[in-house]
Amino acid sequence: MSTYKFNATNRGFSLIEFTDRNGRECTLQKSSSADAECIWLGQGSDRMHLSQDDVTPLIQLLQYFEQTGELPESFEDCRTETETPLPFSEDN
């Protein structure tokens, strides 16, 4: 299991550093985006820029994987496994 280091960027944004399963250095960082609350997730310059709305469905998918070791075939599977209603529709 990876060690998580909680830091801040030079500009004062929250930064969490960790290594993935293959030993690659990754980060989870608060974005400076002015138009939405966002984070950066990934490694080096190959990172995803995710808003809170982007993260919501990903959390459901990751929780399903955490519980089953598999990926769901649909969001309906997430509802069944987690017994938590999703705050969005599959069309989003």
Distance, CA of 54 to CA of 77 (rounded, Å): 19
Structure token pair of residue 42: 């990934």
Residue at 15: amino acid letter: L
Burial of 92 (0-12, 13-18, 19+ CB in 10 A): exposed
- The residue with greater pLDDT, 78 or 80, is 78
Tell me the average pLDDT across 42-56: 96
Q: Across the chain, which distance is largest between two alpha carbons, in Å?
A: 43
Tell me the average pLDDT across 19-37: 96
Q: Answer yes or no: is 73 within a domain.
A: yes
Is there a single domain that holds both residue 10 and residue 42? yes
Is there a single domain that holds both residue 11 and residue 46? yes
Distance, CA of 62 to CA of 54 (rounded, Å): 13
Is there a single domain that holds both residue 25 and residue 47? yes
Is there a single domain that holds both residue 33 and residue 14? yes
Tell me the average pLDDT across 9-31: 97
pTM assigned to the model: 0.81
- The confidence score (pLDDT) of residue 92 equals 45
When divided into structural domains, the chain yields a total of 2
> Domain range spanning residue 40?
5-51
Categorize the per-residue pLDDT at 81 as very low, low, confident or very high, splitting at 50, 70 and 90. Answer: very low
